[in-house]
Structure 1
Amino acid sequence: MQISIESKPTAAAVYDTRKKRLVETIDRLYVRDARASLQKMLSKIHPADLASVLDDLPPSHVVDIFTAIADSESAAEVFSQLPRDLRRQVLTESKVEKLAGVLAHVPPDDLADLIGELPDDQREQLMALLGRDSKDEVESLLQYAPDSAGGIMTSDIFSLPHTLTVEEAIENIRSHDDVEMVFYLYLTEEGGRLAGVVSLRQLLLSSPETSLNKIMNRRVMKVTTDDDQTTVAMLVDKYRLLAIPVVDDENVLVGMITVDDVIDVIEEETTRDILKMAGTDESETLTQSAFKIAKIRLPWLLAAFVGGLAATAVIGRYEAILAEVLVLGAFLPVVMGMAGNVGVQSATVAVRGLATGAIDVRDTVPLVLKELRVGLLLGSFYGVILALYGYLMHDSLALGEVVGLTILVNMTGAALLAVLLPMIFERLKVDPAVATGPFVTTAIDIFGVLNYFVIASWIYEL
């Protein structure tokens, strides 16, 4: 008797199925012009899920379905989580009345990010829709660089004087339930300067008559408005913070960065590094123009092309040995490919480590020694296999020695080059993610070909 065991669908599979059904149902209701049913259904979907659904709908239907969201506050949450291209579409195609109601509920930091990306004429039109308070907050945030702490913070922050009692603080919190506050209460002294911080848990566990300055932590982890967003992300990640305060040059509390903003930064930085190493950038994802995409990719491919020409020149220099031992050409792809793969792995680890702070340029020597050992181990393993394959398949001990020794040296050298180059670029204040890709690829190609034929010439004595 056979027993069949059905595998339980994963949470991701269940989510994808549910999302597909939502997309189909919402689009069907829209096509049928069943507006009442459509609005009722949209009101039951979580804003994050609805933003994802809108991204999968036909582009021509997106704006009309978005405007069908009855509650402006919910629409603002959906709007904040839409992909950048859809947000621009909503901005340019939505009716002014609907747009004004939605923007009134969008957090100032999200609005500043969005407005900062728009052309001047669209920026002025959008600013005209904002209320006075929102407009002032957005303008104050736009003065900071987009990738700085000031550029990603929210100025809508709640703080209290450190001279209040616990009871007074709790009463103040209860009367400000509309402000963003993530388990921390920031305390200020004269002039609005940051004095300390107390967790909401500690606040609730303290006696009502206790003064806040007796229970607050004066050693506040904070950043200034000019600090880079990557630095902020590293601090939040390292110290497991839910939020971090932002101060100006005089230690005046001006804003706060929450963990959800930091997650966005980490995702953005990771995507940017990956695209840079691949020889492109984020602007490619925002355009459908083949000419613009080709222009973005051209410099990286040009560097790889020049490296390929250099490798070709090396091969041409050793035409004599290729003519004598034709089988050497058959092994060229594998000895080059394995070195390139090791180089990509080592370069990715080095670049990502430098970006996250897990690796410092002061760690160059230990990192190089580690990659040397890794390269030797991998090269020895595959070198033995390839040497045996070359000997057994072609009945040539010399060929086995050439390909085995070459792959050992190539993989070891590739690992060293791939970790040394990012460190050098970091010391030269050049973004390793931009330079590593083409330089590592070119260097490994030239080194690998040269090493292959030098070893072959030595062993075959040609």
Structure 2
Amino acid sequence: MQINANTEPQATAAYLSKKKRLVGTINRLYRRNAKASLGNILSRIHPADLAEILEDLPLTDATGIFNAIVDNAMAADVFSQMSPALCKKVLAETPLEKLAVVLKHLPPDDLADFIGDLPEDQRGRLMALLDAASKKEVESLLKYDPSSAGGIMTTDYFSLPQALTVEEAIENIRGRENVEMIFYLYLTDDQQRLVGVVSLRQLLLAHPGTPLHAIMNRSVLKVSTDTDETTVAMLVDKYRILAIPVVDNQDVLVGMVTVDDVIDVMEEETTRDMLRMAGTSESEIFTQSAFRIAGIRLPWLFASFIGGIGATMVIGQFEDMLAQIIILSAFVPIIIGMAGNVGVQSATVAVRGLATGAVNTRDAFRLVLKELRVGLLLGAFYGVILALFGYLVHDSILLGQTVGLTILVNMTCAAILAVLLPMIFERLKVDPAVATGPFVTTAIDVLGVLNYFLIATLVYRF
């Protein structure tokens, strides 16, 4: 029983309703110890949906229901899609001997990732329970940096000698049902070095007696085991391929990175950058104490705190003006807030572009000019509105001129700063995601207040 989720509102409502009924049914069967009926209904649910359902079940029952999955291969598929918190609970409540039987059905890269995250004692015990082939694959993957191509690749790839014919290659493929994915046929020489690639389409259209080396593409897009995972993701995205082969320093084929792994990398990278910009981490709520969380967030907030102190000092220099024209203080929140919002928008786009490779530091001048135009357009629009508001509500042309000009200048400056600062950090080899948030916020606050009172001084004095 596969649940087909649709983005249309009615279909989504139906999906959620069906999921809710399944959660209730599964929970009742488990509580009644109806093992046969429970196993039967679990076997008819798609693994991705079942992993989601397990998250919605009472935490006390989740492990027992997971262990009621009869098919070990299906259980492994469900396990690979569960949240880290639920995986940890299942691991803690399931005998390792039983779990090892399930985990050996995981793809080698997923199994290596899971074992690599375990504490040393559990890792050793679980490794001892694996069969020789699985153990060898895991050990070979664990030696690579987790954020490299070697760390995210799978060793479950398909390759053949280039001297074989098309007919022999097709027969080989038919006999390899256990291979995770066959997107492309990688060809090697006598030393197992990667020499070419043939698509399945080429293979099916070629004459059966044709040698593989006669139809293969010798210009193979490949990466080495130490290539950064972000670079791998960018290559797969740029060239729209379903998998990319991984070679060692001798050009020997050792694995491949599939598109599903690339999607995971891009999702993790995006999430990590967004959280870094906010000065926090994804797992802190569940894994860290309150003191530890406060310690993680403190440096980022301290930078903003310093910016606030700076803005306060700037305002202090204009006490006389504020005393004479008290209404100026009422507009400080909207002027600083609008500039800050523009800064966040521009900084997010810049940091994300740098992270994915869509933006390069060589593009700095062009991007700054574009953001200058964007800031001017937004500032002019809101400046006119705020100027009219200041004039009509407070019956003061000078106030309208002051707030209108200020919001124009501040929004323009914020847009430029928010693009320029990430570029500077990238050039200095500082992670833009970490540094941009506090620096952009601080700069916009201080500069915004300073601009406001300087413009007010000019307008009211002259």
**TM norm. shorter chain > 0.5:** yes
Equivalent residue, structure 1, for 2:177: 177
SS class of match (2:125): helix
Equivalent residue, structure 1, for 2:363: 363
String of CA shifts for 1:198-252, please: whole Å, max 9, x gaps.
Answer: 0111101100000100100111111111111111111111111111100011111
The whole-number CA distance in structure 1 between the counterparts of 2:56 and 2:292 is: 25
Equivalent residue, structure 2, for 1:244: 244
The whole-number CA distance in structure 1 between the counterparts of 2:414 and 2:36 is: 63
Equivalent residue, structure 2, for 1:287: 287
Q: What letter corresponds to residue 449 of structure 1 in structure 2?
A: V
The whole-number CA distance in structure 2 between the counterparts of 1:14 and 1:277 is: 37
Q: What letter corresponds to residue 181 of structure 1 in structure 2?
A: M
TM-score, with normalisation over the residues of structure 1? 0.96
Equivalent residue, structure 2, for 1:348: 348
Q: Determine what percentage of the aligned residue pairs are the same residue.
A: 70
Kept after mapping to 2: 8 A contact 1:182/1:258: no
String of CA shifts for 1:396-443, please: whole Å, max 9, x gaps.
Answer: 111001000000000000000000000001001111111111111111
The whole-number CA distance in structure 2 between the counterparts of 1:293 and 1:128 is: 36
Kept after mapping to 1: 8 A contact 2:153/2:255: yes
SS class of match (1:191): coil
Q: Show structure 2 runs of 5+ residues with no match.
A: 1-7
String of CA shifts for 1:101-121, please: whole Å, max 9, x gaps.
Answer: 101101110011111112211
The whole-number CA distance in structure 2 between the counterparts of 1:62 and 1:56 is: 9
SS class of match (1:10): helix
- RMSD of aligned Cα (Å): 1.3
- Deviation at 1:285? 4.6
Alignment of 1:94 onto 2:94 = yes
Matches within 5 A, 1:36-55: 36-55=36-55
Q: Show structure 1 runs of 5+ residues with no match.
A: 1-7
Matches within 5 A, 1:147-296: 147-287=147-287, 289-296=289-296
CA separation of 1:9 and 1:401: change in aligned 2, threshold 3 A: closer
Q: What letter corresponds to residue 98 of structure 1 in structure 2?
A: K
Q: What letter corresponds to residue 205 of structure 1 in structure 2?
A: L
SS class of match (2:154): coil
Q: Which moved more, 1:297-306 or 1:204-213?
A: 297-306
Q: What letter corresponds to residue 18 of structure 1 in structure 2?
A: K
The whole-number CA distance in structure 2 between the counterparts of 1:389 and 1:138 is: 67
CA separation of 1:29 and 1:246: change in aligned 2, threshold 3 A: same
- Deviation at 1:11? 3.0
The whole-number CA distance in structure 2 between the counterparts of 1:333 and 1:296 is: 28
CA separation of 1:286 and 1:162: change in aligned 2, threshold 3 A: farther
Matches within 5 A, 1:288-437: 289-437=289-437
Equivalent residue, structure 2, for 1:127: 127
Kept after mapping to 1: 8 A contact 2:315/2:449: yes
- Deviation at 1:316? 1.3
- Deviation at 1:288? 5.9
The whole-number CA distance in structure 2 between the counterparts of 1:21 and 1:220 is: 50
SS class of match (1:76): helix
SS class of match (2:250): coil
String of CA shifts for 1:344-376, please: whole Å, max 9, x gaps.
Answer: 000000001111111000000000000000000
TM-score, with normalisation over the residues of structure 2? 0.96
Q: What letter corresponds to residue 158 of structure 1 in structure 2?
A: F
Alignment of 1:439 onto 2:439 = yes
String of CA shifts for 1:133-160, please: whole Å, max 9, x gaps.
Answer: 1111101100111111000000121100
- Deviation at 1:85? 1.5
SS class of match (2:326): coil
